[in-house]
């Protein structure tokens, strides 16, 4: 199958300043991709372009369609969740179900109602009466009842406590995702999604600075806990980042065999958060 999302020289400017600066990438079907970047890096603009919400330059195909001219047909196969606070406060649970059933041809009402039956959400409950966790449950019920080929999540758990964030992603994995679906997610809570990702893309200043599968990340990057007596020798291998922990240096290496690094100390796979910080070095200066 061709790529679910394929971009070539995708660009978007706001008042002459590039928000997305000539990026190219392909996302195949059946993947869970983390698009990670600091505020203002271009990740939300990239998602909006893919959803046909903003004009852009370059080539972009989503499920084989151009979002600029085929958005109506595209949105029959795409589902989108942003910050959970976006639902109208006056909206009732039953009205939300009715609305999605009326606008999305792939919505399964029985599936949504079955999920809602396992929550404390009553049909006449309004959004203004719900906790943020309940709003997440409503979002999940609506989304998981849509047989969409592409699910786009832009900071979907912003402001939620850790229990509801874990529930959100666990439900996606257990009740929604399969090899026919593709998920693209942006979040600042990268530690919580790294166990579900198949692919990782870092974006900075409107450009993709790293794109790899999680297997490739594991093979490519290594962290080493180095004692003071071996620090200079390890630094000669030019780590891409170094930090101090309990009197030892934790060095992050790119592309150096783990067998070679083992002589300098304990080796391990870096977390996405540490890799992100190293890659974005200087961004927050």
- Greatest mean pLDDT range, 78-82, 136-140, 164-168, 271-275: 271-275
- The confidence band for 160, taking pLDDT boundaries of 50, 70 and 90, is confident
How do the domains of the chain map onto residue ranges? Answer: 27-44+70-205, 220-279
DSSP letter (8 states) at residue 240: S
How far is residue 12's CA from residue 277's CA, in Å, rounded to a whole number? Answer: 25
Per CATH, domain 27-44+70-205 is 3.40.50.620: no
Q: Are 233 and 227 in contact (CB under 8 A)?
A: no
Taking only the tens place, the pLDDT of each residue in 181-227 is 999 999 888 888 888 999 999 999 999 999 999 999 999 999 999 98
Check: pTM over 0.75? Answer yes or no: yes
Number of neighbours of residue 92 by Cβ within 10 angstroms: 16
pLDDT given at position 237: 95
Q: Which of 204, 175, 196, 203 is nearest to 115 (CA)?
A: 175
Average pLDDT over residues 129-153: 87
- Residue 270: pLDDT above 80? yes
At 230, phi and psi to the nearest 5?
-115, 5
Q: Are 138 and 130 in contact (CB under 8 A)?
A: yes
At 173, phi and psi to the nearest 5?
-70, -45
- The confidence band for 285, taking pLDDT boundaries of 50, 70 and 90, is very low
Percent of the chain clearing pLDDT 70 (strictly above) = 97
Q: Which of 273, 261, 219, 212 is nearest to 31 (CA)?
A: 212
To the nearest 10°, report the CA torsion of 251, 254, 271, 83. 130
Average pLDDT over residues 232-239: 94
Taking only the tens place, the pLDDT of each residue in 107-139 is 999 999 988 998 889 999 999 999 888 888 898
């Amino acid at each position: 199958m061709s790529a679910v999302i394929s971009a070539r020289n995708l660009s978007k400017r706001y008042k002459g300043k590039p928000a997305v600066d000539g990026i190219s990438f392909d996302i195949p079907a059946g993947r869970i991709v983390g698009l990670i970047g600091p505020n203002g890096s271009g990740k939300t603009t990239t998602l909006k372009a893919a959803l046909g919400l903003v004009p852009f330059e370059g080539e972009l195909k989503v499920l084989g369609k151009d979002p600029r001219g085929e958005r109506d047909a595209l949105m029959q196969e795409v589902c989108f969740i942003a910050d959970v606070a976006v639902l109208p406060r006056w909206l009732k649970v039953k009205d939300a179900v009715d609305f999605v059933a009326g606008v999305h041809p792939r919505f399964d009402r029985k599936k949504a109602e079955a999920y809602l039956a396992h929550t404390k959400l009553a049909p006449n409950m309004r959004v203004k009466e719900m906790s943020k966790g309940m709003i997440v449950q409503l979002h999940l019920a609506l989304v998981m009842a849509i047989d969409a080929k592409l699910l786009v999540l832009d900071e979907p758990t912003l402001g939620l406590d850790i229990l509801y964030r874990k529930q959100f992603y666990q439900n996606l994995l257990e009740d929604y995702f399969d090899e026919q679906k593709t998920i693209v997610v942006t979040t600042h809570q990268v530690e919580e999604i790294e166990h579900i990702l198949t692919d990782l893309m870092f974006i900075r200043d409107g450009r993709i600075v790293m794109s790899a599968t999680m297997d490739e990340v594991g093979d490519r990057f290594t962290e080493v806990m180095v004692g003071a007596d071996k620090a200079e020798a390890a630094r000669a291998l030019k780590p891409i980042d170094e930090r101090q922990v309990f009197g030892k240096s934790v060095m992050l290496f790119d592309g150096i065999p783990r067998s070679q690094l083992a002589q300098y100390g304990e080796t391990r796979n870096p977390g996405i958060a540490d890799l992100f910080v190293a890659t974005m070095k200087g961004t927050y200066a």
